[in-house]
Structure 1
Amino acid sequence: MAEMMKEVVVTKPHTYEVRTVPRPEPTGDYDVLIQMKAAGVCGSDFHIYNGTNPCSTYPRIPGHENAGVVAAVGPKVTKVKPGDHIIVDLIHPCGHCYQCKIGRKNVCENVLVRGSGYDGGWREYFIAPEDEVYPISKDVPWKDAALVEPFAIGAHCTTRGRVVPEDRVLILGTGTIGSIILQTCKAKGVKQVICADISDSSLERAKEYGADAVINTKTESLKDRIVQLTDGHGVTIAFDSACFPGSLTMIMEPGIVCNAGRVVPMGFVTAPESISQAMINQRELDIIGSRMSCYQFEPTITRMENGEFNLKGIATNFIPFSHIQEVFDKIAHPDPSVKKMVILFDE
């Protein structure tokens, strides 16, 4: 192993550096030294670079969708060994607060989020504790392994939303997470999945993933189409994965979500919205928060190993780590054809 490595640091909004630094060494009993192989680029990474992520601090090494190979381990590590392929959790919980004790470590009172609240995987090597790494089959290509984390989000939010086969589902926003929620709902056998977006190409992709109906909200009324598609009943659950100012208010318009329905917002928009108590209580809606994922990595890895996901088109651009400038160029100048980027580390 080389003694030096490269890391990417966002020093402040719209500014980053590629630094050459000493490679870390596992000094703790349960340390795992990871050689990075692939890292997904998430919408939250866009927000970190643009200074619009309310959960992030600077300077920061981004990257929470991390896949790599074990390079070295501490003396008491038994879960993995050098040479193993692994996925790295993004959550570093305290383990002793109320939330951790009730199985909600993703909203731990003292949680650190890799790539946001502390440094992530856009570097050639880093160390994580043994209980935050999960083995994955060497048969899974690195470009696919980097997608485990977003698919774990789909598993978590649909679990939080109590998705069942009787549901009629609306997904507003069919980017990466919306497409994954769609696949997860279809795997759970729901009655109907309706996808809405302003991008025809994203909606066409949603059809390929099994959407029963699509709505372009630039040219069609979301409410009118939902009323039509559900025979006037409305959907039983709506996921807001568009996450723009006003998107939550948009899906809570009467006629879209039925009485006793559920609404799951997926984003971190800080702008206030025009939501009243009456909008919730007249229909007795459940508003269900969902953040990252909790205990979903291992089942998601199993499904990835079994080939249960349709990965075609989830990631569209694969960029070498040595060309990291291209990632930031695409962040600074978004291209609708770029659905998701994955960084592949140089061999």
Structure 2
Amino acid sequence: MKDTMKEVVVVEPHKVEVREVEIPELANEDEVLIQMKSAGVCGSDHHIYHGLNPCSTYPRIPGHENAGIVKKIGKNVTNVKVGDHVIVDLISTCGECYQCKIGRKNVCEHVKVRGSGADGGWREYFTAPANEVYKINESVKWEDAALVEPYAIGAHSTTRGRVVPEDVVFILGTGTIGSIILQTCKAKGCKTVICCDIDDSSLERAKGYGADYVINSKTEDIVARVQEITNNKGVTIAFDSACFPGSLTMCMQPGIICNAGRMVPLGFCTAPEQITQAMINQREIDIIGTRMSAFQFEPTIKRMENHEFQTEGIATTFIKFSEIEKVFDLMDHPDPSAKKMVIMFD
């Protein structure tokens, strides 16, 4: 194995450096060294590059959707061995705070998130504690392995939202996460899922993933269409995976969510919204926060191994790590056809 590697560092918003550094050594006998093979590019990576992620600090190596091969293990490691294909969790937690003890480790008081508050996987090698590394079968392509983390978000957000087969679902935004939430809701037996977007190609893709109805909010009245589809009752649960200033207010307007319904926002937009107490309490709506995932990696990996997901078309653009500048060029000059990028390591 060579002695040095390349890493990608966002030094400050809109300033990126590719550095040649030494391959890290294990810090202790509970760690593993991972050679990266694929890494997803998430919306939060875009926000880090553009200086819009309130959870990030600089300088920072992005990347929290990480898949690779174990190259070295500490003496205490028993869950993986050298040569195993693995997925790396994006969070490190304390295990001692109130949140960790009630099963909410994703919002641990001291949580560190790879690629945001701690360095991530946009580098050829990195180390991680073995208890944050999960084995995945070699039959899963690296292109799909990089999607485990976003599919875990789909599992977590729908679990937080208490989705059941009887739900009538509204999803605002049919990008990567919206499409995955759609697939997850259909897998949970939901017979009516309504997807809303401004892009016809995204809505057409959503139909292929099982959407029962689609609404283009540029050309259609969302409330009127939801009322028509639901016989004037509204949906029982809405997911905001568009996450733009005002998107939460859009979902919360009367006529979309029914009385006793649930609202699940997924973003970190810091712009104030025009939500009133009456919008919540007149219908007694539950607003349910969701962040990343907790205890969803292993079941999601199992489903990925069993080919239970429609991964075709979720990632649209594959870029070699040696051509990483193309990732940032697409961040600066968005291409509607590049709905999700995955970095493939040489």
- Work out whether the TM-score is over 0.5: yes
Q: Does 1:230 align with 2:207?
A: no
C-alpha distance in structure 1 between counterparts of 2:114 and 2:172, whole Å = 27
Mapped to 2, the partners of 1:242 and 1:222 lie a distance apart of: 14
Whichever residue aligns with residue 263 of structure 1, its letter is M
Aligned equivalents of 2:216, 2:86: Cα separation in 1: 39
Residue 337 of structure 1: aligned partner? 337
Amino acid at match of 2:28: G
- RMSD (CA atoms): 0.4
Superposition pairs for residues 64-103 of structure 1, below 5 Å? 64-103=64-103
Distance of 1:61 and 1:17 partners within structure 2: 10
Name the SS for the 1:67 alignment partner: strand
Q: In the TM superposition, what are the counterparts of 1:132-171 in structure 2 within 5 Å?
A: 132-171=132-171
- TM-superposed deviation, 1:27: 3.2
* TM superposition shift of 1:324: 0.1
Distance in 1, matches of 2:243 and 2:51, equals: 16
- In the alignment, what sits opposite 1:25? 25
Letter of the 1:237 counterpart: I
Q: Which residue type is aligned with residue 8 of structure 2?
A: V
- For residues 287-298 of structure 1, the aligned pairs below 5 Å read 287-298=287-298
CA displacement 1:282-308 (0-9 Å, x = unmatched)? 000000000000000000000000000
Q: Is the 8 A contact 1:13 1:50 kept in 2?
A: yes
Contact 1:151/1:180 (8 A) holds in 2: yes
Contact preservation (8 Å) 1:27, 1:74: no
Q: Which residue of 2 aligns with 1:36?
A: 36
> Aligned partners of 2:335, 2:96: CA distance in 1, in Å?
43
> Which 4+ residue blocks in structure 1 deviate beyond 2 angstroms?
none
* Partner residue, 2:326: 326
- Amino acid paired to 2:107: V
Alignment partners' CA distance in 2, 1:236 and 1:209? 21
Aligned length, in residue pairs: 346
What's the CA shift string for 1:13-45, capped at 9, x where partnerless?
001000000001113010110000000000000
Task: For 2:6, give the aligned amino acid.
Answer: K
* Counterpart residue number, 2:212: 212
Distance (whole Å) between structure 2 residues aligned to residue 211 and residue 301 of structure 1: 24
Q: Is the 8 A contact 1:237 1:261 kept in 2?
A: yes
The aligned counterpart of 1:55 is 55
Q: How does 1:298-317 map to 2 (within 5 A)?
A: 298-317=298-317
- 1:117 and 2:117 matched: yes
State the Cα distance separating 1:191 from its structure 2 match. Answer: 2.4
- Are the aligned partners of 1:167 and 1:192 in contact in 2 as well (CA < 8 Å)? yes
In structure 1, the partner of 2:282 is 282
Shift in Å at residue 309 of structure 1? 0.4
Once the two structures are superposed, what CA deviation does each residue of 1:218-276 show, in whole Å capped at 9, x if it has no partner?
00011000000000000000000000000000010111000000000000000000101
1:44-89 Cα distance to aligned partner (Å, 9 max, x none): 0000000000000000000000000000011100000100000000
SS at 1:99 equivalent:
helix
Counterpart-to-counterpart distance in 2, 1:88 and 1:158: 22
Paired-residue identity, %: 73
The range that moved more, 174-183 or 95-104, is: 95-104
The one-letter code sitting in structure 2 at the alignment partner of 1:155 is: A
* 1:163-210 C-alpha deviation (Å, 9 max, x unpaired): 000000000000000000000000000120000000000000000000
CA contact (8 A) 1:169 1:236 kept: yes
Q: Distance in 2 between matches of 1:334 and 1:243?
A: 17
TM-superposed deviation, 1:312: 1.1
SS of structure 1 residue aligned to 2:324 = helix
- 2:318 is paired with a residue whose SS is strand
Amino acid at match of 1:23: I
| Matched letter for residue 256 of structure 1 | I
Structure 1 residues 154-163 or 24-33, which shifts more? Answer: 24-33
Query: TM-score, structure 2 length as denominator?
Result: 1.00
Q: Deviations over 1:309-343 (max 9, x none)?
A: 00111000110000000000001111111110000
What are the ranges of 5 or more consecutive residues in structure 2 without an aligned counterpart?
none
**C-alpha displacement of 1:95:** 1.0
Question: What TM-score, normalized by structure 1, do the two folds share?
Answer: 0.99
| Cα distance in 1 for residues equivalent to 2:312 and 2:206 | 11
SS of the residue corresponding to residue 302 of structure 1 reads: helix
Match of 1:243 in 2: 243
